[in-house]
Structure 1
């Protein structure tokens, strides 16, 4: 089994299947084919600028994969799904990193940070990918998605950037509150920890009131449910607290 990091960007258009959904499908496909295991998909916010084409939020989607598949096999299956599911007007990019290989993690993370505040180029992305032995490929349109795909790898490597794609479901409805212990939350979701917005780790027997959209983040190289204290009660953090991720 080898450990891989895989990121895609710019696969969608208005009214089509989102990049996050396609990333989840690829993660599940690769895990099922190989008997491996894929992580949650994380969404990484990139620079929003008039010179950067994007559908709605300009975010890349990344996941880790533990699998016996070779890089060529991962690429083959992922590309086939990208081509089949990406929107006709999209500019998809795919990046695949062997986490066990020798590469300059600092350079990759720096590229990710820059992509949050600068307009970067395809040439810069391809040059860095070649230096780091990362497979970086484009699959339609202008191929601009390779920039975000490479940046997403770097941001995921940082360990404290990105939200987990979608909502965390625990049987609750958005307009109905549900109270659970931290231990129950972790067991039912597969998350790693429950933490306050001040970075305080909650104990297994602490209780949390869940209501509305329950979302997790990637923090300290863990998948974390963020919570706030409200009238002596822990509850899932709101939109404002999650915006930093």
Structure 2
């Protein structure tokens, strides 16, 4: 079976980030032989004065391939690590959904609404109860449950968010063919800003931090043409993801 695990609001300015804690949880679950974790994706939520957040209001989600009998131990492991690692003064929330049997259109819609308007804890708890999704708060106001539930919907949607960390390139490499990027890195597809795939023989100029976004469930590199050459996009263009 596959689980979607998402956390939110675990940090304060200067503390360990939520993405790092999510990666730690994934690694811990693997260490305990409770499943195989995917990479962590960051999902941008609505920024509004009525929503408290540390810096960008984003939640962190990953998938876990596991066995049904491991679910109680997985949930307990997630909770224990949140309690241990979340910063004092933060408002951590945890959401865990099983892929089978969930009403995904409703959860995806909730995630997309969380990118556009202020939502409430009551709404999150009510939806989670209806859909059979584990939702729990572990400190402070517990407002992190709102973003944690949204992150699961956005991860399942597949065309939202960017992957935590940088894509590792071969040493001293500043230019690669699309085919080489797909063969030698974690990139699964190279897309232009209209989300159209590039030819396998297109040459990509690579500079700065090489970040991947999720599009149609794949790890994708976004590129833009400048002076006739394709370049990986920068931080400003990635903000929409």
TM bracket (short chain): over 0.9
Q: By how many angstroms is 1:179 displaced? A: 1.0
1:70 matches 2:70: yes
Query: 1:207 deviation in Å?
Result: 2.4
The within-5 A match list for 1:122-201 is: 122-170=121-169, 178-201=174-197
Encode CA deviations 1:52-105: one digit per residue, 9 max, x unaligned. 1111111000111112262211111111111111101111000001102x1211
1:113 aligns with 2:112: yes
Q: TM-score normalised to the size of structure 1?
A: 0.92
- Give the secondary-structure state (helix, strand or coil) at the position aligned to 1:8: strand
Residue range with higher mean Cα deviation, 54-63 or 235-244: 235-244
CA RMSD of aligned residues (A): 1.7
The TM-score with structure 2 as length reference comes to 0.93
Residue 7 of structure 2: aligned partner:
8
Query: In the TM superposition, what is the alpha-carbon distance from 1:204 to its structure 2 partner?
Result: 3.3
Measure, in 1, the Cα distance between the counterparts of 2:155 and 2:56.
18
Q: Contact 2:41 / 2:162 at 8 angstroms: preserved in 1? A: yes
Q: Give unmatched runs, 5+ long, in structure 2.
A: none
2:209 equivalent in structure 1: 213
- How many residue pairs get matched? 240
**What corresponds to 1:234 in structure 2?**
230
Moved over 4 A (4+): none
Is it true that 1:59 corresponds to 2:58 in the alignment?
yes
Partners in 2 of 1:71 and 1:133 — Cα distance?
13
Unaligned runs of 5+ in 1: none
